[in-house]
Structure 1
Amino acid sequence: MADTSVFIARESGRPLDEANLPDELAISVITVGELRAGVLAAADVDTRDRRLITLSMALTLEPIAVDQSVAEAWARLRVVLRDLGKRMPVNDSWIAATAISLGTPIVTQDDDYIELPILEIIRV
C-alpha cells in the first residue's frame, strides 16, 4: 500500500529507494483524496500540472475503498495507538488501516507511521 509520500517523492524529484519498492502497489482512496487536494491547492499552473500528472499516475492503480474491514482495522489501530500513548495523523491512520485490512505493508517515506505488530512498514 503506497502512501501519499511515495507519489509526492516522484513528483518533487526526491529520491526513492527503488530496490525496496514491492513489485505490486495498491493505494487507498485516502491517498487519492490527498493528491486531489494538492491539485486544488496548487498556487500556480505549473504546480497544478505537475500534481495532475501525479494524480493521474496514482489513478492507474485501483484505489482501495474504505469498507467495513478497513473501518474495523482503523478502530483497532486507534485503540492500539492510544494504549501505547502514540499518535498518528488521521489520514495516515486510515491508509494504515487499509493496509492492515489487506495484510499488506505500508510503503512510505513518511515518519508518521509507527512500527507495530499489526502494521508492516517499508521505508523507501
Structure 2
Amino acid sequence: MILDTNALSAFVDGDVAVGDILRRESRAALPVIVLGEFRYGIAMSRHRSDYEGWLERHLPAFDILTVTEDTAVVYAALRVALKKAAQPIPANDAWIAALALEHRLPVLSRDEHFDVVRGVRRRGW
C-alpha cells in the first residue's frame, strides 16, 4: 500500500485507524514525492526534532518508490486522460497515482480526487 502525505502525517501523529490498516498490509510504500512533502512539513514545523527523530527511526520500514522513466510514461498518459476528462488533480498527486499504477498498489489517502484516476484504488479511513 502506498501512503499519501496525509496518511503518513496521520500515522506519525498516532492515528489508530491508519495504524490498524498498515498492520494488515504486507507492504507499506512511500513515494519519494510524499517523502519530499513530509520533509518540507518537518522543516516548517515547530516540532521539527520530534518528527525528524520519528523519520530516522521508522523510515527503514518503508519501501521508497522513486520516479523512473517508466513512471514518467504512466504520469504523462494519466495527465492527458485527466485533462481530456476535465478532471485535473494536483501534480504531486498525479505522480503518486502514476507510481500506484506502475506498482499496482492501492493508495491510502483522504484525497478523493484519486478516485477519478482510472485504475487507482484509494483506501480512506
TM-score of the alignment, normalized to the shorter chain, above 0.5: yes
Counterpart amino acid of residue 51 in structure 1:
Y
Q: How big is each residue's C-alpha offset from its partner over 1:79-117, in whole Å with a ceiling of 9 and x where there is no partner?
A: 111111112111111111111111111111223423333
Aligned residue number for residue 39 of structure 2: 36
Percent of matched pairs sharing the same residue: 25
- Distance in structure 2 (CA, Å) of the matches to 1:64 and 1:105: 13
- Distance in structure 1 (CA, Å) of the matches to 2:9 and 2:16: 11
Does structure 2 conserve the Cα–Cα contact (< 8 Å) formed by 1:7 and 1:54?
A: no
Gaps of 5+ in 2: none
Cα RMSD after superposing both structures: 2.1
Does structure 2 conserve the Cα–Cα contact (< 8 Å) formed by 1:3 and 1:31?
A: yes
Aligned residues: 121
Does structure 1 conserve the Cα–Cα contact (< 8 Å) formed by 2:115 and 2:121?
A: no
- Distance in structure 2 (CA, Å) of the matches to 1:108 and 1:75: 22
- Distance in structure 2 (CA, Å) of the matches to 1:80 and 1:103: 18
Higher helix fraction (1 or 2): 2
Gaps of 5+ in 1: none
1:49 matched to 2:52? The reply is no
Provide TM-score, normalisation by structure 2: 0.82
1:119 Cα shift? 1.3
- Distance in structure 2 (CA, Å) of the matches to 1:32 and 1:108: 14
Does structure 1 conserve the Cα–Cα contact (< 8 Å) formed by 2:97 and 2:117?
A: no
| SS of the residue 2:112 aligns to | coil
- Distance in structure 2 (CA, Å) of the matches to 1:40 and 1:111: 27
93-102 or 15-24: bigger deviation:
15-24
Aligned residue number for residue 79 of structure 2: 78
| SS of the residue 2:26 aligns to | coil
C-alpha change, 1:105 and 1:84, in structure 2 (3 Å) is same
- Distance in structure 1 (CA, Å) of the matches to 2:8 and 2:50: 11
Does structure 2 conserve the Cα–Cα contact (< 8 Å) formed by 1:7 and 1:58?
A: no
